[in-house]
Amino acid sequence: MEFLAFAAELIAQYPRGFGSLSDQLKRASLSIPLNIAEGYGKRG
């Protein structure tokens, strides 16, 4: 979850012309902890 907070700070600094890049970073930063949780659920 620390990465999600870091990504949010980074995205806030992007200029408006980088909407698709910031959108991709938002989705990726949310996907990382969800994938970890899913893998842990299958294993644990």
- pTM attached to this predicted model: 0.64
Q: How far apart are alpha carbons 12 and 1 in whole angstroms?
A: 17
Number of domains in the chain: 1
Domain housing 35: 2-43
Beta-strand (E) ranges in 1-44?
none
| Cα–Cα dist 44/23, whole Å | 32
**Tens digits of per-residue pLDDT, 3-44?**
888 888 988 888 888 888 888 988 988 898 899 999 988 876
Distance (Å, whole) CA 14 – CA 40? 33
Q: Who contacts 29 (Cβ-Cβ below 8 Å, separation ≥6)?
A: 3, 4, 6, 7, 8
